[in-house]
Amino acid sequence: MRRALLVGAGGMGQGWAKNLVAHSDQVSLAGWVDIREGAAAAAAEKHKISGLWMGTELEKAIAEVQPDFVVDVTIPEAHHEVTLTALAHGIPVIGEKPMAHSMEAARAMVAASDKSGKLYMVSQSRRYDNRILAYRRLIEKTCGSLGILNADFAIGAHFGGFRDEMDHVLLLDMAIHSFDQARYLSGADPVSVYAEEFNPAWSWYKGAASAICLFEMANGLRFTYRGSWCAEGLHTSWECEWRATGDAGTALWDGNDILKGAKVVGTEGFHRETQSTEEPITEEISGGIAGSLEDFLHALDTGATPMGECHDNIKSLAMVFGAVESATTGKRVAI
Ligand SMILES: NC(=O)c1ccc[n+]([C@@H]2O[C@H](COP(=O)([O-])OP(=O)(O)OC[C@H]3O[C@@H](n4cnc5c(N)ncnc54)[C@H](O)[C@@H]3O)[C@@H](O)[C@H]2O)c1
């Protein structure tokens, strides 16, 4: 039984508390920290969780709880401090996305993982989805050598709160998921990006809630992302709508349950003859943060490398900060 110390008792921290409790065959939620006085206790009471250490100081919590791992669900600006503190005590960390608020902070976190020899994994929860697993297989069986990958994201999201005031809100808070999914689907790492951010006249956000990004990925693959958080009506899925094209054909995913492909079988004619391809959604995996927690625990048990391991995840973060730099400078940016 592993002892977990949870840091952050906001909306997502409470989601993680429920996730940890749901895995009580493998972990016990031993402590909960939030810098806001009484926040952890109020959240624990709300979710009827008792018998755990609660307080506001991480160092004190580590000394008294002696956790086997830390779950960091604080705001992005605090991820660096929380992760470095835990790793300095030799404690592995699973933390929420995005890894950090800057590339400099993220590099220091990867270096701290190296120095301590302990796992630091980012919970990139949208990878734990049986539909994206099936779509990746469909791309492999249909497209051949991949050259074009397109993702569309259009949601009119009225959050209220910090996102309404945030700079680069779409790129920093949401696009990390889609960029990470593009790396997962293509198996390719980023080379450069040209991005434009804009805020349509009707947008209820202060920062840019829309963006169009063109990434060059390894092997010449181009990945385009067209996203908006102020697109009212006919929303896409939160997973984006995807189109992947290679020398052998095209595969689509609507971001929900529709996956379809067309593989070229003819060699003549204006349009080459194609054959439909399909890929069933088969796996019964735990989705979202349940999936990432299980991946993390499996890695602790076996030494396997989980998805979201920091050396890999920092490449998805670099796509976000590359896009922000390009949108700010108006230039194509090497990643
Ligand atoms: N995977 C997803 O789909 C998903 C969804 C929502 C949020 N998130 C991520 O989860 C994280 C938290 O988001 P949220 O919506 O819960 O935010 P939130 O603002 O509701 O909660 C953050 C909490 O962290 C606390 N905190 C801040 N600094 C701290 C520190 N140094 N030590 C201890 N506690 C500290 C705050 O007091 C607050 O209670 C963010 O990184 C966010 O991007 C991920």
75 ligand 1 Cβ < 6 A: yes
Nearest to 197, CA basis, from 205, 206, 209: 209
From the CA of 18, how far away is ligand 1's center (Å)?
Answer: 15
Q: Are residues 161 and 28 in the same domain?
A: no
Q: In what order do the strands lie in the sheet with 249-253?
A: 274-277, 259-264, 249-253, 241-246, 146-154, 222-228, 210-217, 190-198, 333-334
Q: Are residues 35 and 180 in the same domain?
A: no
Is the separation of the CB atoms in 126 and 136 below 8 Å?
no
Shortest-distance atom of ligand 1 to CA 56: 33
From the CA of 97, how far away is ligand 1's center (Å)?
Answer: 9
Per the confidence metrics, is the pTM higher than 0.85? Answer: yes
Q: Are residues 60 and 189 in the same domain?
A: no
Look at residue 162 in the predicted model and tell me its pLDDT.
79
Show which of 70, 87, 118 is a domain's final residue.
118
In the 8-state DSSP scheme, what is residue 230? B
Look at residue 260 in the predicted model and tell me its pLDDT.
98
Residue 298 lies in a domain: no
Structure tokens at 326: 């390009």
**How would you classify residue 38: left for phi > 0, otherwise alpha for psi between -120 and 50, otherwise beta?**
left
Q: What DSSP assignment string belongs to 158-199?
A: ---GGGGG-TTHHHHHTHHHHHHHHHHHH---EEEEEEEEE-
Look at residue 196 in the predicted model and tell me its pLDDT.
98
155: CATH: 3.30.360.10
Shortest-distance atom of ligand 1 to CA 162: 19
Look at residue 241 in the predicted model and tell me its pLDDT.
98
- pLDDT value at 282 more than 90: no
Nearest-angstrom CA–CA distance, 91 and 44: 23
- pLDDT value at 39 more than 90: yes
Is the separation of the CB atoms in 169 and 209 below 8 Å?
yes
Domain residues for the domain of 235 are 127-284+318-334
Look at residue 161 in the predicted model and tell me its pLDDT.
82
- Residue of 74, 168, 240 to test ligand 1 pocket, by largest number of atoms within 8 Å of CB: 74
Look at residue 24 in the predicted model and tell me its pLDDT.
95
Q: Whose CA is nearest to atom 21 of ligand 1?
A: 10
Q: Are residues 27 and 89 in the same domain?
A: yes
* Dihedral pair phi/psi, residue 101, rounded to 5°: -90, -5
Nearest to 72, CA basis, from 134, 120, 18: 120
From the CA of 77, how far away is ligand 1's center (Å)?
Answer: 9
9 ligand 1 Cβ < 6 A: yes
Look at residue 55 in the predicted model and tell me its pLDDT.
97
Nearest-angstrom CA–CA distance, 185 and 172: 21
Q: Whose CA is nearest to atom 38 of ligand 1?
A: 10
Q: Are residues 78 and 162 in the same domain?
A: no
Give the model confidence (pLDDT) of 130-153 as tens digits.
Answer: 999 999 999 999 999 999 999 999
Nearest-angstrom CA–CA distance, 332 and 177: 22
Give the model confidence (pLDDT) of 198-225 as tens digits.
Answer: 999 999 999 999 999 999 999 899 999 9
Look at residue 197 in the predicted model and tell me its pLDDT.
97
